[in-house]
């Protein structure tokens, strides 16, 4: 648990944005180098995005499982060190055009190539009959067997979503489950071994970062994807009809990011059903998240107070309605069960009185975003002089553009207000001035995007909400992490009282 009387600083950089020779960031050398860089720069926190297996649009917020890990992050060089790949296979993979591409991830070509490589490693690993793997299978059986069967069935049915599978397996009839498990046993074993590799590599990296004094902030979306092992394995937890199709789906009404709102398509929870066993499903999910992360940010926290529900088949999120969430019923269970762990509430978006009330009762730190602070027509609660200690200040989140790009495209009056308030100037740099303003705030945690420390423009943006393609693809250049940059970050961290020393 972080101490609100102390001051902390961190950097947001997704794992996939790390540099390296394999097309997307991995748990290999570049990740260890970044942990070293954070320590050298006096940072206490590394914020990443969800590590679960990305689904539609390669989004880490639309995943095939809330419990499994994304195989894309497994490092091939570490597999070669373990004898699971040859040096020739390693060099052949690194020579592929999708691995040599600079700046952006080529998911279309990288994903199938990476999975083919991982399957070779898994087949060799399975042949070893390792005791550690068998122990992993037993320890993770509550989710692993269902996830592996789900992924094997998706492959067998040519990538079709589970709603389009034959009725027997779609509705999880016992005879169909047994038949598919027997027929797909080899594919199931490969998927389980790949998950073993993921958790083995992540555990080692996280322990290394923690040993450097760096904690990991992870993200947990409130909702899960409809096409996921979560919904297919436990349909009773969701509001589905007799064919297991969603009655209503999640989204948000028109807001800062979209005039039309956003139609997410996630199934809604059956909160009354979940309450009957004390929210056991949520306890298991959060427990799994805290095995990956030291600090857990609950994305779309406002959905626990009230949430936007849209009838299935609606063409626009505008057609939705507000429904009450579980509120403190659930939050008190989670904060009580995980009393010694740190949560962050992502309380952005359209905020209604029930959200403010829930945040206050929970005692969790909310979020302040500087890029939202300088509306000339209002006295925004995101202005630093209005912060209390119990909050987390960001220049911008993964859903915002970079500081430089924001300033370049803001309205004139907004730019003038930001410049006057923070003393922004070209000599220091716009991004550096915004970071200084957030660092100096009362918020007990401050986080900046790595792209802002690098003074990047729109090319460094991670995600544009509501845009289905082209996101989650930015990669940092391999020579970006210099000693002089670490010294600059450390200096700003120290003079604002946020250094780990």
Task: Catalytic residue, from 192, 227, 371, 399: name it.
Answer: 399
What distances in angstroms separate CA 230 from CA 144, 457, 480, one per listed residue? 11, 37, 38
- 256 strand-pairing partners: none
Task: Catalytic residue, from 75, 230, 248, 346: name it.
Answer: 346
Is 186 known to be catalytic?
A: no
Task: Catalytic residue, from 140, 294, 299, 414: name it.
Answer: 299
3-state secondary structure labels for all residues of 244-303: CCECEEEEECCCCCCCCCEEEEEECECHHHHHCCCCHHHHHHHHHHHHHCCEEEEECHHH
Cβ(18)–Cβ(27) below 8 Å? no
Three-state secondary structure call for residue 383: coil
Compute the distance between CA of residue 435 and CA of residue 452 in angstroms, rounded to an integer.
8
Is 299 known to be catalytic?
A: yes
**Sequence-ordered list of residues with C-beta below 8 angstroms from that of 10, at least 6 positions apart, any chain:** 38, 43, 44, 45, 46, 47, 217, 445, 446, 447, 448
Is 399 known to be catalytic?
A: yes
| Residue 198 phi, psi dihedral angles, 5° rounding | -55, -55
Compute the distance between CA of residue 472 and CA of residue 398 in angstroms, rounded to an integer.
9
For residue 47, how many C-alpha atoms fall within 13 Å in the half-sphere facing its CB?
A: 24
Cβ(453)–Cβ(485) below 8 Å? yes
Sort residue 213 into left (φ over 0), alpha (ψ -120 to 50) or beta.
left
Find the helix packing angle between 185-211 and 131-139, rounded to 10°. Answer: 90
User: Annotated catalytic sites, by residue?
Assistant: 299, 346, 399
């Amino acid at each position: 648990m972080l101490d609100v009387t102390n001051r902390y600083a961190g950097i947001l950089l997704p794992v996939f944005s790390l540099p390296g020779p394999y097309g997307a960031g991995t748990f290999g050398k570049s990740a260890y180098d970044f942990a070293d860089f954070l320590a050298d720069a006096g940072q206490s926190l590394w914020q990443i995005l969800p590590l679960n297996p990305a689904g539609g649009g390669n989004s880490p917020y639309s995943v095939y499982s809330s419990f499994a890990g994304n195989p894309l992050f497994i490092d091939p060089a570490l597999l070669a060190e373990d004898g699971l790949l040859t040096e020739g296979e390693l060099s052949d993979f690194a020579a592929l055009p999708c691995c040599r591409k600079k700046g952006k991830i080529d998911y279309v070509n990288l994903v199938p190539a990476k999975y083919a490589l991982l399957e070779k490693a898994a087949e060799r690993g399975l042949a070893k009959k390792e005791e550690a793997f068998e122990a992993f299978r037993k320890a993770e059986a509550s989710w692993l067997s269902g996830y592996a069967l789900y992924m094997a069935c998706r492959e067998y049915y040519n990538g079709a979503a589970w709603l389009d599978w034959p009725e027997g397996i779609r509705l999880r009839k016992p005879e169909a489950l047994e038949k598919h498990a027997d027929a797909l046993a080899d594919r199931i074993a490969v998927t389980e071994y790949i998950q073993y590799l993921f958790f083995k590599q992540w555990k080692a990296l996280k322990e290394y970062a923690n040993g450097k004094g760096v904690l990991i902030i992870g993200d947990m979306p409130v909702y899960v994807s409809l096409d996921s092992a979560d919904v297919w394995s436990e349909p009773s937890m969701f509001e589905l009809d007799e064919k297991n199709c969603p009655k209503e789906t999640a989204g948000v009404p028109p807001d800062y990011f979209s005039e039309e709102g956003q139609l997410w398509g996630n199934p809604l929870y059956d909160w009354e059903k979940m309450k009957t066993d004390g929210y056991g499903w949520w306890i298991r999910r959060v427990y799994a998240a805290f095995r990956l992360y030291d600090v857990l940010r609950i994305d779309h926290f406002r959905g626990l107070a009230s949430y936007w529900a849209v009838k299935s088949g609606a063409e626009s999120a505008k057609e939705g309605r507000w429904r009450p969430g579980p509120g403190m019923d659930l939050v008190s269970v989670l904060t009580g069960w995980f009393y010694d762990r740190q949560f962050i509430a992502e309380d952005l978006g359209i905020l209604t009185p029930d959200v403010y009330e829930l945040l206050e009762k929970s005692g969790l730190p909310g979020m302040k975003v500087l890029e939202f602070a300088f509306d000339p027509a209002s006295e925004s609660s995101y202005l630093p002089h209005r912060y209390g200690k119990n909050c987390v200040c960001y220049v911008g989140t993964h859903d915002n553009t970079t500081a430089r790009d924001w300033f370049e495209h803001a309205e004139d009056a907004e730019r003038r207000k930001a410049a006057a308030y923070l003393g922004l100037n070209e000599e220091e740099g716009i991004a550096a001035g915004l970071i200084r303003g957030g660092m100096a705030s009362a918020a007990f945690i401050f986080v900046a995007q790595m792209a802002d420390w690098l003074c990047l423009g729109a090319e460094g943006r991670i995600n544009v909400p509501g845009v289905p393609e082209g996101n989650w693809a930015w990669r940092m250049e391999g020579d970006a992490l210099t000693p002089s940059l670490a010294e600059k970050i450390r200096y700003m961290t120290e003079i604002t009282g946020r250094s780990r020393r």
